[in-house]
């Protein structure tokens, strides 16, 4: 049992809370202003509690043969859930994490430090600025999980941003982003159109109820210059404890509809979630 005391601190983007999980000895939930941000089990970094994190991990798992190290850039840090996962299942990976909230970085470094030799390097910076400084063709995986409050910032939703992501990836590299939207999916459709204007291949992972418009929720957008192994990804997502669908090809074209790409100057942040969509007590 985890009998640790909660840690509460004001950070740059609100009030952060590290809440111990009473069922796991060294596991913690990070929230900011009541919205869940990360879940970390220090004894089992390959344990992923959040559904969207599991789906991002499925993308990572399909990116290369099991255990093979990867070069990864994570935009958005939180409590470093996915970087810890990659370090555990793919030792020797080189990972950079970019997080703009310096107060949050300090809190996580103090309370949930990563082990020495993890291969994880954390940078306090704006996600797009750091991405644009990344060497071309240097990444196997680019993970975007950036939220300001509960919204994806506008400057991370555009063709110009997508082009910077494409430049950073190797020819078989993969971009995966955690998004949030609900019916009628105006934001999601615009993102599909935006990334289709830059990347040759797209896929989308989401819970069926979200795709049917029954509730607001997380969706994982996957993009690559090369074919995505959607068959393997579909099997992994369907077999998960929290099953999800993988859409691609004609199904994504229908979902995109008449939406057009978004460019700098016309971009807006993702929609504000309905009350209670993600918040906890």
The residue-averaged pLDDT of 98-107 equals: 97
What residues pair up with 39 in beta bridges, in sequence order? 29
Q: Per the domain annotation, does 81 fall within a domain?
A: yes
Per-residue model confidence (pLDDT) at position 276? 67
User: Helices (DSSP H) in 120-180: which residue ranges?
Assistant: 127-132, 159-168
Q: pLDDT digit string (tens) for 2-30?
A: 878 999 999 999 999 999 999 999 999 99
Choose among 202, 201, 223, 221: nearest CA to 211: 221
- Mean residue pLDDT of the chain comes to 95
Q: Per the domain annotation, does 191 fall within a domain?
A: yes
Per-residue model confidence (pLDDT) at position 7? 96
Measured distance CA(55)–CA(242) in Å, rounded: 9
Per-residue model confidence (pLDDT) at position 281? 42
Q: Per the domain annotation, does 9 fall within a domain?
A: no
Name the pLDDT band for 278 (thresholds 50, 70, 90): low
**pTM to 2 decimals?**
0.96
CB of 107 closer than 8 Å to CB of 16 = yes
CB of 183 closer than 8 Å to CB of 157 = no
Q: Per the domain annotation, does 214 fall within a domain?
A: yes
Name the pLDDT band for 137 (thresholds 50, 70, 90): very high
Measured distance CA(59)–CA(80) in Å, rounded: 17
Q: What is the CATH number of the domain that holds 73?
A: 3.40.50.150
What residues pair up with 178 in beta bridges, in sequence order? 220
Measured distance CA(85)–CA(58) in Å, rounded: 11
Q: Look up residue 274 and give its two tokens.
A: 């309905």
The residue-averaged pLDDT of 207-213 equals: 94
Q: Look up residue 208 and give its two tokens.
A: 């069926």
Quick check: bond before 7 cis, omega within 30?
no
Measured distance CA(144)–CA(52) in Å, rounded: 12
Q: pLDDT digit string (tens) for 36-77?
A: 999 999 999 999 999 999 999 999 999 999 999 999 999 999
Kindly give the pairing relationship between strand 139-144 and strand 71-75.
parallel
Measured distance CA(279)–CA(238) in Å, rounded: 26
Instruction: Report in angstroms the alpha-carbon separations of 258 from 27, 165, 190, 252, 261.
Output: 45, 24, 9, 12, 10
Structural domain harbouring 177? 51-256
| Domain tally, the chain | 1
Using a 10 angstrom Cβ sphere, with 0-12 exposed, 13-18 middle and 19 or more buried, the burial of residue 58 is buried
Measured distance CA(232)–CA(215) in Å, rounded: 27
């Amino acid at each position: 049992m985890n009998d640790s005391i909660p840690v509460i601190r004001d950070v740059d983007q609100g009030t952060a809370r590290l809440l111990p999980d009473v069922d796991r000895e060294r596991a913690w939930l990070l929230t900011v202003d009541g919205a869940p941000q990360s879940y970390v089990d220090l004894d089992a970094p390959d344990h992923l509690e959040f559904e969207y994190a599991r789906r991002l991990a499925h993308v990572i798992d399909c990116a290369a043969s099991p255990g093979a190290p990867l070069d990864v850039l994570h935009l958005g840090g939180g409590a470093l859930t996915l970087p810890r996962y990659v370090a555990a299942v793919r030792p020797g990976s080189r990972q950079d994490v970019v997080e703009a909230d310096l107060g949050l970085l300090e809190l996580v470094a103090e309370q949930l430090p990563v082990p020495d030799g993890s291969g994880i390097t954390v940078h306090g910076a704006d996600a797009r600025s750091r991405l644009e400084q990344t060497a071309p063709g240097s990444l196997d995986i680019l993970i975007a999980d950036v939220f300001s409050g509960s919204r994806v910032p506008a400057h991370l939703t555009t063709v110009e941003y997508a082009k910077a992501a494409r430049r950073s990836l190797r020819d078989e590299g993969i971009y995966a982003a955690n998004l949030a939207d609900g019916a009628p999916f105006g934001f999601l459709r615009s993102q599909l159109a935006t990334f289709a204007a830059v990347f040759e291949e797209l896929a989308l992972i989401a819970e069926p109820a979200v795709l049917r418009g029954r509730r607001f929720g997380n969706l994982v957008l996957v993009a690559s210059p090369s074919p995505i192994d959607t068959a393997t990804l579909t099997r992994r997502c369907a077999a998960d404890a929290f099953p999800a669908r993988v859409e691609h090809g004609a199904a994504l074209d229908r979902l995109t509809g008449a939406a057009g790409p978004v460019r700098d100057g016309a971009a807006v942040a993702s929609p504000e979630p309905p009350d209670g969509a993600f918040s906890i007590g």
